Structures are given as C-alpha cells and as structure tokens.
Amino acid sequence: MPNRFFFIFGGQTYKYKLMETETVLITGALGQIGSELAEKLKSIHGKENVIISDIRPRNEVDYDGIYEVIDVMDADRIKEVIEQYNIKTVYHLAALLSGTAEKNPLFGWKLNMDTLLTFLELAKDKVIDKIFWPSSIGIYGPDTPKEMTPQNTLKTPSTVYGISKLAGEYWCNYYHQRYGVDVRSVRFPGLISWKTPAGGGTTDYAVDIYYKALEEGKYTSFLKAGTYLPMLYMDDAIDAIMKLMTTDGDQLTVRTSYNLGGLSFEPTELAEEIKKHIPDFTLDFEPDFRQAIADSWPSSIDDQVAQADWGYAPQYSIEKMTTTMLDNLKVKLAKN
C-alpha cells in the first residue's frame, strides 16, 4: 500500500505521496541530523524498514531499531548492507564538517567525496533508486554576496569542506543529467538542535551556547559579536528533507542543491534571547580559526527556488527556537 501522510503549513493542509513503503539507509546516523531523521523515517516507513549506520560499535549505541556498523570508506561493506536489506533510498549524511575537515584537509576531501561517489555509482547501476545528500552554505566564499545570497551566484569556497560540498553538488548534477540518477540535496545552514550535539562545524556555537547557559550561566563564543550566519532549527531541517524527498522529481529544477534560509542571527542576539529565560547569563568572546570560515560565509540566504519547487516553509523564530532548546535541554541535562 502506498503510504501517505499529511502536514500543515501556512494554514493549509498539504498531502504528500510517499514512496511505496521501502527500506531506507542512513549513513552517519548517530550525528546531529541523522539521530533525528531516523525517528522521523521510522514513523513513516516503520521501524523494520529504517536501517541506520555509523562507525561506532553496536554495544556503544543506544538506539531502538536496526543498526549496522558501516565505515563509509568501505564500499564493499556498504554494498553488503544494501543487498542484505534490499535498500532503495539512502540518506548519506556521513561527512566531516567545516572545522574538523580543516584539521585534516585531504582526509576531509576523501571522506566527503569518495563516499558520495560510492552511492552515486550504486544509483547509476540501479542498485538503489534515490539519494539524499546534504550540501552546505560552506560552498559560498568571500566573493559571494553576503545578504540574501541567491540560489545561483559566485561560489568561491575557502575551506576543504566547502570545496568538497561544491564538487559534490556538481557530481550530483552530473549523475542526474547523464544517468538519470535521482539525487536530491539542500544547502544546510547552521543547524540547531537539542537531541544530539553538533560535531566540528563553524556554526556549532549556536548549539553549545544553550548547554553552557544552563550548566554554567555563561559562554565563551569562538565567533565574535556581529558574526551573522544563516541558521535553521532542526525540526525545520527534517521537514525540508521530507518535503524534498516526497516531491515529484519532475518538479525539481535544481539538481545541484537548493538554498535554504530560515534564521539569521549573531552571538549577541542569541545571548539576548537566552537572557529572557536566564537573566544572569553572560557571553564573552575568544574567536578561533573558525572566525575566518564564518567571515567567508553568507549572513542570510534567499530560498525562493526551494519555496517555489517544493514548498519550503520553515516555522521556527529565534524566540520559539530558544524556548524549545532550553525547555528540552533542561530535561535532558537533569537526566544525565
């Protein structure tokens, strides 16, 4: 039976036709996006149809569902798991983020690039049908217009992460044009969430700040005041993935990757929001190497194409995000 689900945005109810119930694989599933995407996909496809994978051994993983250990550099292991479960859709999230990749550029390039090509080849060979692969605002660079950066503009990435994501976007487009591969992508801004911390990104301060606000009442930001960056609350990011993946392919005009906007703020503004809940909270600054990365990225993003093609419509304001983060983290930290 085809699976359908409903959701509401802009006051209207929209219906999305999902793919027939199918088996999906998430790589890098223990990361910030994967841990939340897994729960969403289980609610749609059923627990038995969602295979999550990461590099950690099973006994270190607290997850209710099917978990397979996969080192994404091992293409044979990937094929083995795909065949074992007859997987048709892959959410390929395993990657090194901007900060981590700068510490080991050649490995960052290899991991981010080789693994994408493994899945594109599997789709070309019709072993799998569909791929979701996240790109990033990291594809933009110092020559890119900073405010409301348009979908198509100068892209001059200055990090290995950005270079790998930009090359990846063009590989996706190439495989789509040449072989008809159904690969879909969005350029994520900084993602804010409470369930799993971010790991190794330039935008991570906007997650760390909430933990430190609750634990210590103060935070030292590695980005300086006034550093505006595009950001998005995780629920909106997951909703974007689901909308993109359930839209008819012929409606998609972009097969590199879609710009996604959402929020745009800088550390002091975020601190002001937190002070509404924790009045004594203090913020100071010790910028590190990530400041230069942040300075090279846009401060806000124009996402009209994503709105038009598949109804992208983020819901969270900085106020709603802050209340949600603090309420949930309070409970989480009390349990630890």
Nearer to ligand SER, 203 or 256 (CB): 203
Nearer to ligand SER, 69 or 113 (CB): 113
Q: DSSP string of 231-254?
A: EEEHHHHHHHHHHHHHS-GGG---
Amino acid at 171: W
Contact map string, positions 112 to 151, toward ligand SER, x by CB under 6 A: ------------------------xxx-------------
Q: How far is the CB of 288 from ligand SER (least distance, A)?
A: 13
Contact 160, 232 (CB under 8 A): no
> Which long-range CB contacts under 8 A does 194-199 form with residues at least 24 apart?
194/324, 194/325, 194/328, 194/329, 194/332, 195/35, 195/36, 195/234, 195/328, 195/332, 196/30, 196/31, 196/32, 196/35, 196/36, 197/32, 198/32, 198/97, 199/31, 199/32, 199/97, 199/100
Q: How far is the CB of 93 from ligand SER (least distance, A)?
A: 12
Nearer to ligand SER, 49 or 190 (CB): 190
Q: Give the active site residue among 161, 175, 219, 258.
A: 161
Contact map string, positions 275 to 314, toward ligand SER, x by CB under 6 A: ----------------------------------------
Q: How far is the CB of 11 from ligand SER (least distance, A)?
A: 31
Residue nearest to ligand SER (CB): 201
Nearer to ligand SER, 67 or 228 (CB): 228
**How many residues form the binding site for ligand SER (CB under 6 A)?**
11
Q: How far is the CB of 189 from ligand SER (least distance, A)?
A: 7
Nearer to ligand SER, 49 or 257 (CB): 257
Q: How far is the CB of 110 from ligand SER (least distance, A)?
A: 17
- By CB under 6 A, the residues from 178 to 217 that bind ligand SER are 188, 190, 201-203
For residue 263, the surrounding DSSP H or E stretch is strand 263-265
Based on the residue annotation, tell me whether 161 is a catalytic residue of this protein. yes
What is d(CA 107, CA 118) in angstroms, rounded to the nearest whole number? 16
- Please report where in the chains the tokens 């348009």 appear, as a residue: 150
Residue 158 binding ligand SER, by CB under 6 A: no
Q: DSSP string of 272-336?
A: HHHHTTSTT-EEEE---THHHHHHHS-SSB--HHHHHHH-------HHHHHHHHHHHHHHHHHH-
Q: 217's torsion region: left (phi>0), alpha (psi -120 to 50) or beta?
A: left
- By CB under 6 A, the residues from 97 to 116 that bind ligand SER are 97-98
Q: How far is the CB of 43 from ligand SER (least distance, A)?
A: 25
Nearer to ligand SER, 188 or 312 (CB): 188
The CB-side HSE value for 197 (13 A sphere, CA atoms) comes to 11
Q: What is the CA radius of gyration of the chain?
A: 19
Q: How far is the CB of 146 from ligand SER (least distance, A)?
A: 16
Nearer to ligand SER, 24 or 294 (CB): 294
Alpha-carbon dihedral angle through residues 94, 303, 182, 175, given to the nearest 10 degrees: -80
List of residues contacting ligand SER (CB under 6 A):
97-98, 136-138, 161, 188, 190, 201-203
User: Which residues are the active-site residues?
Assistant: 161
